[in-house]
Structure 1
Amino acid sequence: MSHKVMHICLSRGWGGLEMYPSRIIPELKRQGWEPHGLALADSRVAASLEEAGVSPLVVSTPSRALLAVARILAYLKSHDIRVLHCHKSGDLRLGALLATLRPGLRLFYTDHMGVTRPKKDPYHRWAYGRVTRLFAISDATRQRNLAAFPLPAARIRRLYLGIDPAAYAPRLSREACEALRRELGTPEGAVAIGLPGRFTPGKGQAVWIEALSRLAESRPDLCWHGVLIGGLTAGEGSNEAYVAALRERVAALGLESRLTFTGFRRDLPRLFEALDVVCVPSRNEAFGLTVIEAMAAGKAVVGADSGAIPELIDAGTGRLAAPEAPAAWAEAMAELIVDADLRRRLGESARRRIRRDFTLAAHVTALTEEYGG
């Protein structure tokens, strides 16, 4: 068969869903597939595809994509593309229409978000009826998918996301790492505790800040510094009003000298080198890509005991805390702050787990086996 696939992502946002196509493109190419893309003109998705070496077909809006269906079909035919992969539920309208007009197209959909409401009305029965395979990115999301989508269980497959562990291997010299820690505002001898992620209420930054306040009050003997990593503007995918509220709360709690907002960073693997503990307090994570990235970097991780995160972390690789319980987060962080040997053991076990279960190569191998039927 033709080893070609078009990834469709008609979004102007910028999060894990939008990053996914460009993230897997190098591995798709390495495994002998020719990737193509369909994106919105002047979007971050389109730019990321270009950076990955793919010149995407572009449309101005999702509705314009439906009007451009003849042009898209002609593109698929001229490039002999027989596999489509959608990443937003709204894009399935286009994917299903293309599969209807060109029988023989194989249509795949990844539910990156974790559906929360039933989709079994006539429209969704038609659209999902054209899907060859739906990928759930965790057991937690697969259970939701089974309840929500008009598909038999055999057509819904759990396929964990993966990363390239080599990208998270230590590279910085001691001097460079110390310089980066200073840049992040971490005092000498302090334990650096980081929280990477988009600034939205569901990511749990507010609970984490309350936990740091409790930690400061209950254990004034501990030396630590908090690092919030993520874009601070709407253009970077964050909720600006939420960012402002967080800054106000930090000031009210007197934590300004103990907490750094880094802004958007492209060097997350290197930032992990400068951190000692990574926290992911997301309330209902569909997977937890940040969790496995931190684990690959050999860091002790505290994750929320909700959503898919408990599938990634156990007592041998990290700690879990209730997502709405600042006291539990303060306790988990205190345990790791005082015990450097525990942090090291958890980090080493976490790194081994990633190499065993969550590599990008294994993810793409499973994906292309499905593409090929």
Structure 2
Amino acid sequence: MVDRSNNECEIILGNSNKKFSGVTSTMLQVLSVQKESADIAVLGQYHLPDDINALNFFQALKVCRRPLSSGLPRVFHARRNDEMIQGLLLKVLSPTAIRLVFTSTAQRQKTWITRWLMSKMDGLLTTCSAAHQFMLEPADAVIPHGINIGRMVEQQPTKEHDLPGKYNVGIFGRVRHQKGIDLFVDALLEVLPNQPDWAGVVVGEITAQNETFVSGLKKKIDKAGLGDRIRFYGEVDFQDIPWFYRSMDIVTSLSRNEGFGLTVPEAMSVAKPVIATRAGAWPDIIEQDVDGLLIDVADVDALVRGLNDYMASPEKRESTGFKAQEKVQQLYTIDREAQALLSYYRQLQNS
């Protein structure tokens, strides 16, 4: 990492989670754009590329003791509770002004500590209408996540991967009950016997606590005689993920609950028809029967109907994917998210 603790660092981003998560991914992607337009540092060194100014807490405090040459306050952007705590400590211990921002994505009732921490923020953001409904105070702005379309369209894999079918249906994300992997399997067990050219692909980490869950799914698959047509790839190299998306003919996103859910815009960015549950930001993103299909959470029958409909019509898959890609290019790019956040930071600094 680059130590630029002598830089002004007008914006500091929280990065407190050692595990790579969706929050980490979105922060890093936005940062890759923001760093070209602002002097940004990150509190926490986890998963950062070498050209990023990574600070520990004491380095951040040293930075915050120096006023910006512009006379404006710094902005500290938190996305987790412990990052809000870090921001509050910096604000209390620093003699210079700091504006604290928190992005709330959770679609559940907030705990008392989260509510208290949010009450101490200078600005509140959210990423979709569903998450906004769980905020006691209205957000200053709804800024949806974006994706790096260039990476999704162009990045080449580190190695070749075999796929189980002539046509393939995919699901992406950590392999666990919350992500609806069991719904995916149950639907394919009904669909695939009548669709001999099709197969299922599951891409995502299988943690130790979910091995029993996955073992149960594989037993059901083997019992149905479809062990060679529904394949679990486990966690693949980050660079290989775009290739898997591009290689699918249909993508499903079936979470029972979701913060935002990048899998949908990622699939749409490479012109794939998506079947998604009404979770996370997906009802905001998908226009029903135009650029994708929304189904109720855990509605396997609706999933089966949607799969059969797409499988039966290459023309529908193509037209839906084309419209999906157009929407992402217009509304859900990483550049759009980064610029919206920078604009909000400037507004907060001048308020």
The TM-score range, normalised by the shorter chain, is 0.7 to 0.9
**Separation in 1, partners of 2:101, 2:222:** 47
Amino acid at match of 1:57: L
Question: Which residue of the other structure, out of 19, 23, 30, is the alignment partner of 1:17?
Answer: 23
Aligned to 2:141: 157
Question: Which residue of the other structure, out of 177, 180, 187, is the alignment partner of 1:201?
Answer: 177
Aligned to 1:142: 132
Question: Which residue of the other structure, out of 300, 304, 318, is the alignment partner of 1:326?
Answer: 300
Q: For residues 280-311 of structure 1, what are the alpha-carbon distances to aligned partners after superposition, in whole Å with 9 as ceiling and x for unaligned?
A: 00112222211001000110111113342111
The 8 Å contact of residues 292 and 324 in structure 2, kept in 1 or not, is answered as yes
**Separation in 2, partners of 1:78, 1:262:** 50
Q: For residues 32-82 of structure 1, what are the alpha-carbon distances to aligned partners after superposition, in whole Å with 9 as ceiling and x for unaligned?
A: 11221122xxxxxx342135x214224xxxxxxxxx6x6542233359581
Aligned to 2:254: 281
| Long gaps (5+) in structure 1 | 40-45, 59-67
**Separation in 2, partners of 1:341, 1:230:** 29
1:262 aligns with 2:233: yes
CA 1:244 to 1:14, structure 2 compared with 1: closer, same or farther past 3 Å? farther
**Separation in 1, partners of 2:115, 2:27:** 26
The 8 Å contact of residues 192 and 198 in structure 2, kept in 1 or not, is answered as no
Amino acid at match of 1:73: L
More helix by share: 1
Q: For residues 244-269 of structure 1, what are the alpha-carbon distances to aligned partners after superposition, in whole Å with 9 as ceiling and x for unaligned?
A: 33333333333211111112222211
Query: How far off its partner does 1:4 sit?
Result: 2.6
Alignment of structure 1 residues 26-175 onto 2, 5 Å: 26-30=32-36, 32-39=37-44, 46-51=45-50, 53-58=51-56, 72-77=60-65, 80=68, 82-102=74-94, 104-112=97-105, 114-119=106-111, 121=112, 126-146=116-136, 151=137, 153=138, 155-169=139-153
Amino acid at match of 2:40: P
Q: For residues 187-215 of structure 1, what are the alpha-carbon distances to aligned partners after superposition, in whole Å with 9 as ceiling and x for unaligned?
A: 3xx22111011122111001110010111
**Separation in 2, partners of 1:337, 1:165:** 26
CA 1:36 to 1:239, structure 2 compared with 1: closer, same or farther past 3 Å? farther
**Separation in 1, partners of 2:259, 2:206:** 23
Aligned to 2:4: none
CA 1:79 to 1:163, structure 2 compared with 1: closer, same or farther past 3 Å? farther
Amino acid at match of 1:301: V
Root mean square deviation of aligned Cα:
2.5
Aligned to 2:283: 310
**Separation in 1, partners of 2:34, 2:53:** 15
Aligned to 2:5: none
Give 4+ residue runs of structure 1 displaced > 4 Å after superposition: 78-81, 123-126
**Separation in 2, partners of 1:8, 1:161:** 17
Percent identity, aligned pairs only, is 24
TM-score normalised over the length of structure 2: 0.86
CA 1:184 to 1:333, structure 2 compared with 1: closer, same or farther past 3 Å? farther
| Long gaps (5+) in structure 2 | 1-7
The 8 Å contact of residues 169 and 199 in structure 2, kept in 1 or not, is answered as yes
CA 1:244 to 1:15, structure 2 compared with 1: closer, same or farther past 3 Å? farther
Question: Which residue of the other structure, out of 148, 156, 162, is the alignment partner of 1:184?
Answer: 162
